Chains A and B, each alone.
Chain A
Amino acid sequence: MELRTLTLLFIGISFLLYITIAIRSKAKTTGEFYVAGGGVSPLMNGMATAADWMSAAAFISMAGLIAFLGYDASVYLMGWTGGYVLLAMLLAPYLRKYGKFTIPEFIGERYYSKTARIVAIICLLFISFTYIAGQMRGVGIVFSRFLEVDIITGLMIGMAVVFVYAVLGGMKGITYTQVAQYCVLIFAYTVPAVFISLQITGNPIPQLGFGSTLAGDSVYMLDKLDKVVTDLGFNAYTGSGQSTLNLFFLTMALMAGTAGLPHVIVRFFTVPKVADARKSAGYALVFIAVLFTIAPAVGSMARFNLINTINGENAEGVAYKEIPGWFKTWENSGLIAWYDHNNDGKVQYAKGSSIEGNRPIFSEQVGSHGERVITNPAVPVIAPGAKFANEVYVDRDIMVLANPEIAGLPPWVIALIAAGGIAAALSTAAGLLLVISASISHDLLKSTFTPNISEKKELFFGRVAITVSIIIAGYLGANPPGWVAETVAMAFGLAASSLFPVILLGIFSKKVNRIGAISGMLTGLIFTFCYIIYFKGVFIAPFAENIEANWLFGITPQAIGGLGMILNFVVAISVSYFTSEPPAQVQKMVEAIRTPATQS
């Protein structure tokens, strides 16, 4: 069967599975809708959390990031898994003991303030909508590349499926579809990785494979890769190219951001007991670690394969006419571009930018070798150590999707990847939609504006809120704002600098009060937000060029959330020190969430 039919088949079967599960787990009460009735087993919750957490970015983009950044991308691996240690030990068990539905609810009650609750809702909505835009872009990429349908059509189908199971089933439906989606995505990620590892190193376990020698050779793969990339003018793959301070803050921002993401925290509200919440965080990390320990293997092998295929056996470049088919298919979707700087007809890849700006701009013409002509080539610069200037633009996001094609694996493996990518995007989107709808129907309507609505009414508004959010998310996916990549970094920075510190202090300190928490949250939020806007722009033009000389202590906008978090802590604690203590019943509540037992 050809690739397109196979992809349709795989995605179709997976959609059928998700909808069947949804119909079998319809939510009848608000408790079932928001937290699946609190009756999800720790193992199931761990699996659902893993799917919830591993987004289109983790599935599609992360290995690509590792492939191009090498060691420097380790911060994403450590940050996105290390956050679970914080979650398991500092937040999840206590929030489970607190035992209500949403994060703003906890913040509002702990800091006895509607203002604090509304500030938390603003942080939550901002984080979640930014995140969802990224998921929808992922769905768009997969559909347009593998099914060759219009992005809008693909999006509509994806939205319809999410609509069915999120609106009907609420958290209950989402939980069990996420379990299924985890199975789909992890299978899809592992199978090609095993094949490629076997091909390159002869070792079927990717985690060991990338530390083994090359098949039929006594050279270690990573040593060979270091040599290949340095010969092209890049930094060594296993060496660092960034300042240690920046890596430090970035890791911190990612870890605290992970622990502070509302859609992840809320998953721990669904298990029956406090002890289950602890265990469940461990299970979640087991399921996440499967993908996260394979990703660096996939990244290094993808880089290795990519360079060898483009530059050929002799590392001199391959004539465009003889380049494999995948190169041209991705060129057609605009995610690969080639400009023949030295007019030798060969595609040559090395360090340096082949184009001016961030994306290639294609004219309608076809060049003398059959390539798509681009109108924004860069001035060719030969990097020190390299033999030629870089002529190839490769979008990092395609590495996982193109990897099986580059390695020449059979079409069914490639179709599997497509279904996996969709599963990763949909599972995360559904989790996000739920926290958005819960914060609107529960925090805004039920608790702030119309406290007298019945449970049935609240449930109805929850479903309306999800529907509206799906439409907004779909719109964002169809008209991807140019700032998706920037704003995802912002989502982590904001979660780390706004929500994480106040939740943590709310549990571990009895002294931090209303004014302390609100000023801490606002300081972290505004500082981080402004720093990112200052360099990245987002809605307006950036104020300063995004280069090292301009950064505060050399910290990049992605990493600034780490500093924002520290500011939040300092402000919250010192302001509380100079103002009056929280009332006695709040201190009692803190006392109560610290122990698992229900009495006292």
Chain B
Amino acid sequence: MSTPENHRKYWRANLKLVFCCLLVWFIVSFGCGVLFVDELNQYKIGGFKLGFWFAQQGSIFTFLILIFFYAYRMNKIDSKYGVQEGDD
């Protein structure tokens, strides 16, 4: 299983996943929380202006979901390419 070709494919799948996750990471923090905060602040959820909420709460919750999603997907990718760790 562990041919150079297999490794290359595994690494590409990994990079793709990381890229997608970091895109979301960038959009919620730098995007919603900093760059477009004024536009989002025109909307409200409860007592929060939306941009302010993303900056102080929403981005943190998104980060959490992202890491667990990444860990879950990575384990799948590990087994798909047969590079997962033994059970020692």
Contacts and interface: CB of A to CB of B under 8 A. Distances in A.
Interface of A: 66, 71, 74-75, 77-78, 81-82, 84-85, 88-90, 93, 207-208, 210-213, 220-223, 238-240, 244, 247-248, 251-252, 255, 273-275, 278-279, 281-282, 285-286, 289, 292-293, 296, 591, 594-600
Contacts of B37: 71, 240
A210 B47 contact: yes
A596 B7 contact: no
A275 B74 contact: yes
Of B33, B53, B55, chain A has the most CB atoms within 10 Å of the CB of B55
Nearest to B52: A238
Nearest to A223: B47
A85 B22 contact: yes
B2 A597 contact: yes
Contact of B60 (A90, A255, A293): A293
B43 to A, nearest CB: 13
Contacts of A595: 2, 7, 10, 83
B47 A211 contact: yes
B46 A248 contact: no
Contacts of B48: 211, 222
A278 B77 CA distance: 13
Contacts of B59: 77-78, 81-82
A66 B21 CA distance: 28
Interface string B55-67: 1110111011011
A71 B37 CA distance: 10
Contacts of B67: 84-85, 88-89, 278, 281-282, 285
B55 A78 contact: yes
A207 B56 CA distance: 10
Contact of B45 (A71, A211, A221, A223): A211
Interface of B: 2, 7, 10-11, 14, 18, 21-22, 25, 29-30, 33-35, 37-38, 41, 45-49, 52-53, 55-57, 59-61, 63-64, 66-68, 70-71, 74-75, 78, 82-86
Given A212-B47, A220-B47, A273-B85, A78 B18 contact: no
B23 to A, nearest CB: 11
Interface of A is mostly: helix
B19 to A, nearest CB: 10
A591 B7 contact: yes
A600 B45 CA distance: 53
Given A81-B59, A210-B47, A600-B2, A90 B18 contact: yes
A71 B29 contact: no
B7 A212 contact: no
A596 B35 CA distance: 37
Contact of A286 (B55, B64, B83): B64
Nearest to B41: A238
Given A85-B66, A274-B85, A596-B85, 18 more contacts: A71-B56, A77-B60, A85-B21, A90-B18, A211-B45, A211-B53, A238-B49, A251-B30, A281-B71, A285-B64, A289-B64, A292-B60, A293-B56, A293-B57, A293-B61, A591-B7, A596-B84, A597-B2
Nearest to A93: B74
Contacts of A223: 47
B18 A89 contact: yes
A220 B71 contact: no
Given A238-B41, A273-B85, A282 B46 contact: no
A211 B59 CA distance: 16
Contact of A81 (B7, B30, B60, B70): B60
Contacts of A90: 18
A23 B24 CA distance: 45
Contacts of A84: 63, 67
Contacts of A211: 45-48, 53
Given A595-B83, A596-B84, A296 B64 contact: no
24 contacts: A71-B56, A74-B56, A77-B59, A78-B29, A85-B21, A85-B66, A88-B71, A211-B45, A238-B52, A244-B34, A244-B35, A248-B34, A275-B84, A279-B71, A282-B67, A285-B67, A289-B63, A293-B61, A595-B2, A595-B83, A596-B78, A597-B78, A598-B86, A599-B2
